[in-house]
Amino acid sequence: MISTKLISILKKATLSKDEIVFLLSLSGKEEIEKLYSRADEVRKEFCGDEIHLRGIIEFSNHCEQDCLYCGLRISNLELPRYRMTSKEILKTVNCIVEANIRTIVLQSGEDFSYTKEYISDIIRNIKEKYDVAITLSLGERSFEEYIDWRNAGADRYLLKHEIANPRLYSAFHNKQKLGDRIHHLQLLKAAGYQVGSGNIIGLPGQTFVDIADDILLCKELDCDMASFSPFIPSNGTPFRKVEKADVELTVKTIAVARIVLKDVHIPATTALGSLVENGREKGLKTGANVVMPNFTPHPYRQNYKIYEGKICITDDPLASVGCLNLMIEGLGRKVSDGKGHSLKLFKN
């Protein structure tokens, strides 16, 4: 049975926090299906049927931070660490371009051994050679670095706020504060980046109200991209025995985020694909419009171990992209041949 309350909420242009919490707490099968089909309609209206592939290079798993949930945390002494050189990174960029993917995501732990200049040179080298967009995901750095990298040609920056509850944020991040994180996201916007934020679903103590706040924070920050990915435990962390996230809650969050945020890019994350079979497909059917195939070369990729059981660890990246293409075709959607810039850039 579908309640009249649900029908009236799904017709609204703007949702209150209470209404978002109501949607996240839906439990009837029919009502959840209704939520998913509304999210898919909103996705179609604002993003069309194109799916954007972003080729990700996880170029260093060294991290200064000590986040309680993350396998890359500095205190995890079990993890073999690696750093890729600019030469190795550029070779990997070439593989991504050969797979016809036009966004390069450069991601690492917070590794300050890569200086402002070193990263700027990599960005310039990529931009001189290829017609691609560059997304950086390097954690919290200085405003000067953000400006320099933007001037070198970086287009986008991903910095998830992780959890919008300040008390839980402080409990999970030994050195960081939520206010600082938000400040960095504002600096990135001011520096002219297309900015991505988002949360982790299923962290201990997190409530539906917290998840509603996560979605609303992405709205308030006017994010161009927003990622809602499930918690999966990692060995070598204090959260190794915490239950993994609920699949349905993760997918509901993606759907509600699409309905609330409308014209943002939302990925069907690798973590969702690792949590459950066909996870990325589920995400794409319920609001997501982006997938991020992993191009980190062997032998490094097995050690970018944010959580256990990450998919495609042994695969050849080109084969993974081939599978993604087939999956996307199967959904009746289309892989974009553009760079997939912010959906907000072309609006007045």
Of the pair 19, 210, the CB lying nearest ligand 5AD is at 210
Binding mask 32-71 for ligand 5AD (x = CB under 6 A): -------------------------------------xx-
Give the residue from 232, 197, 234 showing the smallest Cα distance to 72.
234
Among 84, 195, 232, 259, binds ligand 5AD (CB under 6 A): 232
Residues 315 and 99: beta-carbon distance below 8 Å: no
Q: Rule CB under 6 A: say whether 284 interacts with ligand 5AD.
A: no
Instruction: Please tell me whether residue 271 binds ligand 5AD under the rule CB under 6 A.
Output: yes
Buried b or exposed e, range 248-260, using 16+ CB within 10 angstroms: ebbbbbbbbbbbb
Nearest distance in Å: CB 235, ligand 5AD: 10
Contact flag: residue 304 with ligand 5AD (CB under 6 A): no
- Tell me the CA distances in angstroms from 267 to 129, 177, 187, 289, 334, one per residue in order: 27, 26, 23, 6, 15
Which of 345, 329, 331, 166 has the alpha carbon at shortest distance from 263? 345
Please identify, using beta-carbon distances, which residue of 169 and 307 lies nearer to ligand 5AD. 307
Q: Is 184 in the site for ligand 5AD (CB under 6 A)?
A: no
- Grouping H, G, I as helix, E, B as strand and the rest as coil, residue 165 is coil
Distance separating alpha carbons of residues 101 and 14, to the nearest angstrom: 34
* Partners of residue 194 on adjacent β-strands: 156
Q: Which stretch binds ligand 5AD (CB under 6 A): 116-124, 180-188, 225-233, 334-342?
A: 225-233
Using an 8 Å Cβ cutoff, are 291 and 280 in contact?
Answer: yes
Least Å distance, CB 103 to ligand 5AD, is: 16
Which residues ranging from 153 to 172 are in contact with ligand 5AD (CB under 6 A)?
160, 162
Report in angstroms how near the CB of residue 201 gets to ligand 5AD at its nearest. Answer: 9
Please give the residue ranges that form the binding site for ligand 5AD (CB under 6 A): 69-70, 160, 162, 200, 229, 231-232, 234, 271, 306-307
